[in-house]
């Protein structure tokens, strides 16, 4: 799209009182965004040309791409919504928008360790099966799903994060490292203008994009009033499949997922459950859409289970390894020597602990315990 037309889209979409539905009505009525603006200027104050040009300049400086629903890159599934975002801001590998074998993974922000572990494991396995994981970068399940996807394909796996802020605003701030990694390996998407802060009303709007980009939505740990159930409801309205991981009825954070299963969602325990229902056993390789596709080799059949499933042969208990790393941290090689176990097995267990949010690496190989990891050894 030419810069002039894009500026008109930005101006019309950011004019007070204009949302996606009214945007499309005005464009249909007047034939174009340009003509709609000309008509509105007679009766109301529209978003200024100067501000729209400044927005475009900011995007260019930050290497953010802005597309409209008229762009060939705009996802067809998203275009079918009557309130599809007229404008999308993209940061990262924009080609990922053309990948259609996508699954959304959402759930509780205050997720349990086991919940995060399940989300990360399923995301990891889906990504290694060339399914693109989509989520919302929230704390808890969303973050775990993104991490699992990023760890796949020899730690080059892509993922899409849809934000309820501008693409240049990391929310929550605690996910800054994850945000940067997704921008490098995957794609960050938002319909909101640059520098837009987190507003409560933004997140239900974000959820419709998460579900629309995906063939199905998996819910891992969600209370009855969780925003994840909004995403599941939107997925159903959009004709998508809904999956849910069952949990103990004693835990309130499992009530939403269990309710979905009672209402007909597919009970899900592993990635194979999702792949089977969606008939995604034989799809176009996701590596086609990766920046480093030439460096990424598909796993052979014997490796399909990946690193995470290899951790079923855990050399020690999680607590023992956390204790060995300790409060002051430890070099990776030192941990392997200390445990006196096979290096590959120890590395697999370290990966699992990272996905669970118990351990982080600094300077490449130095291991430190997170706050959650420290709580585990107290």
Kindly state the average pLDDT of the residues 62-77.
95
Residue 378, classified by CB atoms within 10 Å of its CB into exposed (0-12), middle (13-18) or buried (19+), is: exposed
Q: How confident is the model at residue 281 (pLDDT cuts 50, 70, 90)?
A: low
Is pLDDT of 231 > 70?
yes
CA dihedral 251, 377, 178, 332 (to 10 degrees): -140
Residue 30: how many other CB atoms lie within 10 Å: 15
Kindly state the average pLDDT of the residues 292-320.
41
Whether 275 and 160 map to the same domain: the answer is yes
Given this model, what pLDDT does residue 135 score?
A: 98
Separation CA 176–CA 267 (nearest Å)? 33
Q: What are phi and psi of 8, to 5 degrees?
A: -65, -40
Q: How confident is the model at residue 313 (pLDDT cuts 50, 70, 90)?
A: very low
Choose the final residue of a domain: 273, 301, 329: 301
Instruction: Please give the residue range of the domain that contains residue 218.
Output: 95-301
Q: Give the angle subtended at the CA of 239 by the CAs of 234 and 243, to the nearest 5°.
A: 70
Whether 332 and 280 map to the same domain: the answer is no
> Is residue 83 in some structural domain?
no
> Is residue 260 in some structural domain?
yes
Whether 182 and 297 map to the same domain: the answer is yes
Residue whose structure tokens are 């799209």:
1
The three-state (H, E, C) secondary structure of 53-82, written as one string: HHHHHHHHHCCCEEEECCCCCCCHHHHCCC
Separation CA 345–CA 355 (nearest Å)? 16
Q: How confident is the model at residue 298 (pLDDT cuts 50, 70, 90)?
A: very low
**Six-digit token string for 312:** 């079923």
Whether 221 and 370 map to the same domain: the answer is no
Whether 288 and 336 map to the same domain: the answer is no
Whether 333 and 279 map to the same domain: the answer is no
**Six-digit token string for 253:** 């954070």
Is pLDDT of 241 > 80?
yes
Q: Which residues pair with 241 in a beta bridge?
A: 216
* CB-based contact 105:115 (threshold 8 Å): no
CB-based contacts of 166, cutoff 8 Å, min separation 6: 89, 190, 192, 193, 194, 195, 196, 197
> Is residue 309 in some structural domain?
no
> Is residue 80 in some structural domain?
no
Whether 149 and 204 map to the same domain: the answer is yes
Q: How confident is the model at residue 235 (pLDDT cuts 50, 70, 90)?
A: very high
> Is residue 154 in some structural domain?
yes
Given this model, what pLDDT does residue 99 score?
A: 93
Whether 110 and 183 map to the same domain: the answer is yes
% of the chain residues with pLDDT over 70: 89
Given this model, what pLDDT does residue 2 score?
A: 64
Given this model, what pLDDT does residue 232 score?
A: 93
> Is residue 32 in some structural domain?
yes
Whether 20 and 154 map to the same domain: the answer is no
Q: How many domains does the chain have?
A: 3
For 316-366, write each residue's pLDDT tens digit: 577 888 888 988 888 887 788 788 777 767 777 787 787 777 888 876 678
> Is residue 46 in some structural domain?
yes
* CB-based contact 17:40 (threshold 8 Å): no
Q: Can you give the CATH number for the domain in which 156 is found?
A: 3.40.50.450
Choose the final residue of a domain: 268, 301, 334: 301
* E-only strand ranges, the chain: 65-68, 87-92, 102-107, 132-135, 160-162, 187-190, 216-220, 241-245, 266-267, 330-331, 359-362, 366-369
* CB-based contact 129:271 (threshold 8 Å): yes
CA 209 to chain centre: 11
Q: Can you give the CATH number for the domain in which 353 is found?
A: 1.10.10.10
Whether 286 and 337 map to the same domain: the answer is no
Separation CA 376–CA 322 (nearest Å)? 8
> Is residue 88 in some structural domain?
no
Closest to 126 measured CA to CA, from 112, 95, 105, 99: 105
Given this model, what pLDDT does residue 330 score?
A: 86
Choose the final residue of a domain: 61, 81, 113: 61
Is pLDDT of 282 > 80?
no
For 8-53, write each residue's pLDDT tens digit: 999 999 999 999 999 999 999 999 999 999 999 887 889 999 999 9
3-state DSSP assignment of residue 143: helix
For 122-157, write each residue's pLDDT tens digit: 999 999 999 999 999 999 999 999 999 999 999 999
% of the chain residues with pLDDT over 90: 65
Given this model, what pLDDT does residue 197 score?
A: 95
Residue whose structure tokens are 């009505």:
25
For 205-225, write each residue's pLDDT tens digit: 999 999 999 999 999 999 888
Closest to 163 measured CA to CA, from 131, 123, 134: 134
Is pLDDT of 311 > 60?
no
Residue whose structure tokens are 């759930």:
107
Separation CA 373–CA 376 (nearest Å)? 5
Whether 291 and 330 map to the same domain: the answer is no
Whether 179 and 263 map to the same domain: the answer is yes
């Amino acid at each position: 799209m030419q810069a002039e037309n894009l500026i008109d889209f930005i101006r019309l979409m950011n004019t007070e009182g204009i949302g996606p539905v009214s945007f499309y009505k005005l464009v249909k009525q007047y034939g174009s965004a340009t003509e709609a603006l000309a008509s509105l200027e007679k009766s109301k104050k529209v978003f200024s040309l100067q501000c729209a040009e400044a927005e475009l300049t900011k995007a260019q400086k930050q290497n953010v791409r802005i597309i409209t629903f008229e762009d060939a890159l705009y996802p067809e599934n998203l275009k079918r919504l009557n309130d599809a975002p007229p404008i999308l801001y993209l940061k990262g590998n924009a080609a990922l928008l053309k990948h259609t074998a996508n699954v959304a993974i959402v759930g509780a922000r205050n997720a349990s360790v086991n919940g995060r572990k399940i989300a990360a494991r399923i995301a990891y396995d889906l990504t290694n099966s060339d399914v693109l994981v989509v989520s919302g970068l929230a704390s808890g399940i969303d973050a775990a799903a993104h991490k699992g996807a990023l760890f796949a394909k020899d730690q080059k796996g892509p993922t899409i994060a849809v934000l309820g802020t501008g693409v240049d605003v990391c929310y929550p701030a605690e996910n800054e490292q994850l945000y940067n990694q997704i921008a490098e390996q995957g794609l960050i998407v938002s319909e909101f203008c640059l520098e837009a802060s987190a507003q409560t009303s933004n997140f239900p709007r974000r959820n419709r994009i998460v579900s629309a980009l995906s063939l199905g939505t998996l819910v891992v740990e969600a209370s009855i009033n969780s925003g994840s159930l909004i995403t599941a409801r939107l997925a159903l309205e959009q004709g998508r499949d809904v999956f849910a991981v069952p949990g103990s009825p004693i835990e309130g954070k499992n009530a939403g997922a269990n309710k979905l299963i009672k209402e007909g969602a597919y009970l899900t325990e592993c990635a194979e459950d999702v792949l089977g229902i969606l008939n995604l056993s034989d799809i176009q390789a996701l590596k086609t859409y990766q920046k480093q596709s030439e460096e990424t080799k598909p796993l052979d059949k014997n490796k399909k289970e990946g690193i995470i499933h290899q951790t079923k042969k855990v050399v020690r208990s999680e607590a023992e390894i956390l204790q060995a790393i300790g409060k002051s941290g430890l070099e990776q090689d030192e941990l392997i020597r200390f445990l006196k176990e096979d290096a590959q097995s120890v590395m697999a267990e370290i990966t699992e602990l990272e996905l669970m949010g118990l351990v982080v690496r600094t300077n490449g190989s130095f291991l430190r315990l997170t706050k959650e990891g420290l709580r585990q050894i107290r």
